[in-house]
Structure formats: structure tokens, C-alpha cells
Amino acid sequence: MSDPHAAAGSAALRRRAAYEAAKARTRLRLARRRRGRPQPLLVHQMGKVASSSVTASLQEAGLDPVYQVHAVSPAGLAALEASYARRWDPGHRGAQHLWQGQWVAGRLAREPQRRWQVVTVVRDPVARNVSSFFQVARSRYGLDLGELARDRSEDEVVDAVRALFLERFDDHEGPVRWVDAELAVPFGVDPWSAPFPRERGWAVLRGERADVLVLRYEDLGRCFGEAVEAFLGLPGVRLASRNVSSGKDYADAYRAVERRLTLDGDYLDRMYGSRYARHFWSDEERAAHRARWVAGTQGTSSTSSTPDAAGGGAAAAARPLDPDRAVDLRRPTPSTAPSPRPSGR
């Protein structure tokens, strides 16, 4: 009789060997890519903020090469590699972003004088977390929304999803920490020194090692072309649509849960009281975002992977945020920068 433990160990070794071989091929391909642009162009964003759409838009406009990554810090890359090497599937493209990130990190270390052009997007932290959770719910937590919806009522599905999201999802703080850990520290950018132009929806930051275009997710539909033209001098760039959750196999169940999901006040206050949220969204905007999760009436909320060009929301119905619950996340040092979690891209 075969030993199941030995078989599992052998499968893990084969998976790791295949992972390392694919990684080596990617690194070789990256090394051969022409460098053309004096300032390499990097789409560097946390997961679930339309990074695939932004990258596709820039590539379709003729920009090459464009690197798409989610981490360049040592801690961030180590966390991603530990996950992808363990769960790697040749059909999953997430590891490509990791390997590109490792290659970019190598260039940052070898070429300290080179400046980069970075495009990044910030998103309502709760909406981003919910979207990220749905992306990994089946592979990481065994949640099959389609099957769950067949066996239970909508109320039961929503209750089950809420409990799993709050108790098992392990990247709630990811959005509020990412800017410091993956942008401020590696590129010498101070994102907090000047007010963010919320009405415009985008800003350009000048750092020690990079020029950074920061866009808000909910404003992408109306300002992407304008911002790219100002940043890169390239007119007429339109936002492409990629990796949209509503087009995935769990679309119907996703929309139903998205429409009815509510979250507790302590969690919402922690997320919307963070320095990250307070910097990029006004009191009224944060209150409107918060109200969607209190009332369970998201409708056209920003949890969808397709940016909502209209923005706005239920500000008039929102309850004011409690200032005593505000969380001021201090800028971490490179040695303590928190690690992003793989969230599916």
C-alpha cells in the first residue's frame, strides 16, 4: 500500500520544481526585454484596484515595457513567494507579478541612481478587502459561492460570508499599510505631506527615486486619460476592462452578497478612521462609503472590480465617523514594513 504522506511530499516537490522552472524562464524573459524608456514604467498597486486594467490600457497605448507588480519590498516579496510556491498552479498568473516584482527589486538595488515612473491606485479599504476576499475565498477558505447559494437562502449566504470574511480573511490591514510599506519606503516618496486633490481624483508625487501617479479607484473612469496625459505626455489613453469580478463564475452569487452584505461598526470605524482613508477621502466621502456597509444597499458600490466613474454615494444618509476611533498608522521603517498578502489579481 502506498504511503499517502510520501505521495503528498513527492507532489509538493514536483510542484516546487515546476514553480522554480517557471520562475527562471520568466526572469530570463525579463532580462531580454528591451529597456527603451530612460525611466522604467511600473504599475505598482495593491491587489484588487484595477491593476490589470491599468496595465492593459498603457500597453494598448503602445508603452513597452510596462511592469505590473504588487510588492517590491523584501518582506512583501517573501510573503508572496511563500504563498505562491506552496499553492502554485501553472494556470494562475499571479506568480508572474511576483517574479516581475523580484526583478524590479533587483534593479532597484543594483541601480540606485535610476528613476522610475510609477502608476498606483488607491481604493476604499473595505471595498478592496471584500473584493480581495471573494477572489481567494474558494482556493484559500473552501468557499464555493455558487454551491452555497444553491443550498441556502440569501440571508444564510450573507451571514456565512460575513463570518468568514471577518474571522478568517487575513489582510484587513493591507490597504492601510501598503502605501508606506511598498511605495513610501522603496521609492522615497512622502504621500502624506500634501493634501490629496480629491475633486480631481489624481496627483503626481515626486520622490527620491520615482515620479508617482496616484489615482483613486472610483475616479478612474472619469480621470484616467487626463491623468496619464499629464504624467506621461500621452493623449487619448482609454481605460480597458480586465479581471472583472462580475464576469467570473461566481458572478450571480457575488452580486447578491455584495448587494446585501453589512459589516459591524467597529470594523468600519477602524478602516475608515485610518490615516490612509482620511488622507485620500473626505469626511463626507468616507461617511458615504461607510453607510453602504451599514445599510447593506451597495447597488453600484465600489466593491465591483469595474471602476465606478460616477463616484458619490449616500452621504446624506451616512452617520458621522467617530473621531475617537481614528487609527494613525505611523510610517514603518524598511525593517518593519508589513507584508502584503497574495490576493489574486
What pLDDT sits at residue 345? 40
Domain that holds residue 243: 33-325
Q: In whole angstroms, what is the distance from residue 159 CA to residue 171 CA?
A: 20
What pLDDT sits at residue 49? 85
316's CB contacts (< 8 A; 6+ apart) are none
Residue closest to 199 by CA, chosen among 320, 307, 281, 305: 281
Residue closest to 26 by CA, chosen among 78, 81, 63: 81
Cell numbers 504621500 correspond to: 191
Q: Is residue 305 part of a domain?
A: yes
| Residue 96 grid cell | 508572474
Question: In the chain, at which residue ranges do the beta strands (DSSP E only) sit?
Answer: 41-44, 66-69, 116-122, 202-206, 210-216
188's CB contacts (< 8 A; 6+ apart) are 207, 208, 209, 210
- Phi and psi for 22 in degrees, rounded to 5? -65, -40
Q: Is residue 344 part of a domain?
A: no
Q: Is residue 144 part of a domain?
A: yes
What pLDDT sits at residue 244? 53
Cα Dmax for the chain: 68
Q: Is residue 207 part of a domain?
A: yes
Q: Is residue 5 part of a domain?
A: no
- Give the total number of structural domains in the chain: 1
What pLDDT sits at residue 342? 47
What pLDDT sits at residue 7? 61
Task: Tell me if residue 139 falls in helix, strand or coil.
Answer: helix
DSSP 106: H
What pLDDT sits at residue 313? 33
CA 49 centroid distance within chain: 5
Tell me the pLDDT of the chain (345 aa) as tens digits: 566 666 666 777 777 777 777 777 777 777 776 555 667 899 999 988 888 899 999 999 999 889 999 999 999 999 988 887 777 777 667 688 899 999 999 999 999 999 999 999 999 999 999 989 988 888 888 888 878 878 888 889 899 999 999 999 999 999 989 999 999 999 999 999 999 999 999 999 999 999 999 999 999 999 999 999 999 999 999 998 765 554 455 566 777 788 889 999 999 999 999 999 999 999 999 999 999 999 765 544 444 444 433 333 333 233 333 333 333 322 333 333 444 444 444
Q: Is residue 159 part of a domain?
A: yes
